[in-house]
Amino acid sequence: MKNYELAVVYNPNLDEEALNAEKASVNALIERFGGTVDKIDDWGKRRLAYEIQKVNEGVYNFVSFSAEATAPAEIEARMRIKENVLRYLVISVEE
């Protein structure tokens, strides 16, 4: 199992309930492909460096997880189609 970090920027127009549902679905997605969530770092609403889909702010969330080498590609494929995710990035973390 390798260590990864998933950075997600959510749409800031979501209410608290919908935002929590999106975060839970991302965690479930990681677990669906055999990963285990180690740490969640929630940065909250921040200003974006540039406008994305006519939005100037985003809700930042960082998830550290362990998974097999094939999991990040599967997770990215599912993240691509989520409507409330403005941007995402999965990186491998060296120990």
pLDDT tens digits, the chain, 95 residues: what are they?
Answer: 899 999 999 999 999 999 999 999 999 999 999 999 999 999 999 999 999 989 999 999 999 999 999 999 999 999 999 999 999 999 999 87
The amino acid sitting at 11 is N
Q: Which candidate, 70, 53, 82, 73, places its Cα nearest to that of 61?
A: 82
List of domains in the chain:
2-92 (3.30.70.60)
Taking the model in full, what pTM does it have? 0.90
DSSP type of residue 12: T
Residue listed under structure tokens 């909250």:
44
d(CA 14, CA 28) in angstroms, rounded, equals: 19
pLDDT score at 41: 95
Tokens of 1: 């199992």
